[in-house]
Each structure stands twice: as structure tokens, then as C-alpha cells.
């Protein structure tokens, strides 16, 4: 039964089609939903499985507020979700997920350096950031929202991505 739920969630991701121009939902809601679904298909090391499950948002306040609205007081992987606003890379020392909005792309190298080798899933929304070392990067192709998965960055951060998620992304 649990497996059926995962299959339904995967199909939901695929059926969204992620058509950018005709989306019924605002992009910040789509990014928020996808991020939360990505989390279901990523495995963190045992050392990260205590305390709160921290999702840091650097940039887009709409994504931050959507995540807070939808996911505060929920649990992920047995941990309570904590959504935090990142105003400066030095203001946060650890997070399970860091989302770097497109208006903060200039901060990518600093974010990557800070969380490289740590069990942090770095999700970005910027041109070529997947190739630069983001774990998952949103990308528009032919009017559709897609996502790149950088397997080397994911492995470097001691994370594992399920085959289901890998099969839906653009592997780089």
C-alpha cells in the first residue's frame, strides 16, 4: 500500500507536466510542491535523522511563505519540519534542504562552498547551476518546467536519490 502511494506521487509529478506558461498554480507553489516531493525520494545519512528537518529558503519569500503555509506542523521522515528564511549564508550552519531562488543566483558559489560535503540537498532555480554543482536545478525547456539532477553533487553531500526520482530528472 505504501508503494502505491509513492507511485501515485510520482505519477502526480509527471502529470503536472510542469507547463510554465499555462500553469494553473503560481510558480512558487509549483517549486514548493516539487521540493517537498523531492524530499520523499532522497535519503539522508543516519546522522541527519534527529532534531528538526530544516528547509532553508534563500531568496523568494513567496516560496518561503508557501512552504510555511503548507508544511509547518508536518513531519518528514519522522522529523518535524522547520522552514527558515536565509538572509545570509553565514546565518545558517546546517539544513537538510537549501533552496536558492533565481534572484539569489549570484550567491550560489558561497552556498555551495558552505554546504559542500554536508548532508544538504541544494535546490536551485538558475541557468547552468546544475552543471555548477547544485544537487537539483529547475530548468525551463520548451515551455515546460524540468529539473536537472547532479548525481556527483548529491553523492558528495552524502545523499542518495531514488531511481524513481532520477528517472524523471535530467541527469547531469
Mean pLDDT, rounded, of the chain: 88
The helix or strand, by DSSP H or E, that contains position 53, with its residue range, turns out to be strand 53-58
Residue 23's pLDDT band (boundaries 50, 70, 90)? low
pTM for this structure? 0.86
Q: Answer with the residue of higher pLDDT: 10 or 144.
A: 144
Give the chain's domains with CATH numbers: 2-171 (3.40.50.2300)
What pLDDT is recorded for position 117? Answer: 94
Amino acid at each position: 500500500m505504501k508503494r502505491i502511494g509513492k507511485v501515485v506521487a510520482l505519477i502526480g509529478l509527471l502529470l503536472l507536466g510542469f507547463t510554465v506558461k499555462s500553469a494553473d498554480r503560481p510558480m512558487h507553489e509549483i517549486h514548493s510542491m516539487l521540493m517537498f516531493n523531492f524530499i520523499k525520494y532522497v535519503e539522508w545519512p543516519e546522522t541527519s535523522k534527529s532534531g528538526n528537518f530544516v528547509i532553508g529558503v534563500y531568496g523568494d519569500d513567496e516560496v518561503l511563505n508557501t512552504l510555511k503555509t503548507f508544511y509547518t506542523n508536518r513531519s518528514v521522515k519522522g522529523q518535524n519540519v522547520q522552514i527558515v528564511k536565509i538572509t545570509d549564508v553565514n546565518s545558517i550552519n546546517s539544513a537538510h534542504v537549501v533552496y536558492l531562488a533565481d534572484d539569489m543566483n549570484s550567491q550560489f558559489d558561497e552556498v555551495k562552498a558552505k554546504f559542500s560535503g554536508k548532508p544538504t540537498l541544494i535546490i536551485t532555480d538558475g541557468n547552468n547551476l546544475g552543471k555548477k554543482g547544485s544537487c537539483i536545478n529547475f530548468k525551463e525547456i520548451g515551455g515546460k518546467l524540468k529539473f536537472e539532477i547532479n548525481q556527483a553533487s548529491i553523492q558528495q553531500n552524502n545523499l542518495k536519490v531514488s531511481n524513481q526520482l532520477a528517472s524523471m530528472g535530467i541527469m547531469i
